[in-house]
Amino acid sequence: MQIKTLAIYDFDGTMLSGDSIVRYIAYAMKQGFESPWSVFRHAMNAACALTGLKSINQGKSSALKFLRNMDPAIQEEFNRSFCREILTPRLYPKAIKSMKRHHRDGCHILLVSASPDIYLKHMKEFLPIDEVLASPTDEQGIVSSSTRGAKKVRRVEDWAKEQTFQVDWHASWAFGNSIHDLPVMRLCGRPICINPTRHMRKEAVGLPIEYWKAQDSSDM
């Protein structure tokens, strides 16, 4: 059986600053699919999710309710254009360089994220990504499962079992910024912390650290 090395990338906070779902909602408002007045509802929804009054899945599903009123074909183009116009231009230059380098080196590239797969799956059209493992989301905006923490590990391990090749975990790379990325990073022999949060720095003592910026003089 063929043996392959993986390069696993988290997305939000690792490849770009902030949370992509916030930009997704803002883009829906700009395109007229969500009311600007709904910003108050989204703020309350986010607060409920953060305080535990709603589950993470319920919070994300509530935030994506506007998708229920979109024709599937329009929705597909909306998601694609969001990745093309909003996400791709905001990626850290070093993130893009890293991914392209590992792709040239023959790594199998995985994007593993808790963000909704309904839009994140389209990043394969703009980056050398072999597979996107993100939170399963249907056309109604219902998030059925969050690919986060321990669930990230299960998604990656289940995916690896289904492949026709064997993964060389010891030689594989993993990039993440938060403690929720650590379980997947610890699967790999070459984990690197990117712009680590305070909790990440505390929990990932001894791991290499890199700082990626929106604009870096070394990338110009």
Asked if pLDDT for residue 51 goes beyond 90, the answer is no
Confidence of residue 220 (pLDDT cuts 50, 70, 90): very low
Provide the pLDDT confidence category of residue 9 given band limits of 50, 70 and 90.
very high
Contacts 24+ apart (CB under 8 A), 145-149: 145/57, 146/56, 146/57, 146/60, 146/114, 147/112, 147/113, 147/114, 148/56, 148/114, 148/180, 149/180, 149/183
Residue 217: what pLDDT? Answer: 43
User: Averaging pLDDT over each range in 23-32, 93-102, 199-208, which range is the top one?
Assistant: 93-102
Question: Could you tell me the domains of the chain?
Answer: 3-219 (3.40.50.1000)
Q: How confident is the model at residue 58 (pLDDT cuts 50, 70, 90)?
A: confident
Average pLDDT over residues 53-68: 80
Edge-to-edge strands, sheet with 173-176: 131-135, 108-116, 6-9, 173-176, 190-194, 209-210
Spell out the residues 6+ positions from residue 170 whose beta carbon is closer than 8 angstroms to its own: 188, 189
* Model pLDDT, residue 44: 63
| Closest residue by Cα to residue 98 from 217, 209, 7 | 7
Q: pLDDT value at position 214?
A: 86
Whole-number pLDDT of residue 1: 82
Lowest mean pLDDT among 27-31, 41-45, 158-162: 41-45
Q: How far is CA 171 from the centre of its chain?
A: 22
Of 3-7, 79-83, 135-139, 173-177, the one with minimum mean pLDDT is: 135-139
Model confidence at 113, in pLDDT bands (50, 70, 90)? very high
Evaluate whether 119 touches 79 at the Cβ level (below 8 Å): yes
pLDDT at residue 39, as a whole number: 61
pLDDT beyond 50 at 42: yes
Per-residue pLDDT averaged across 99-115, rounded? Answer: 97
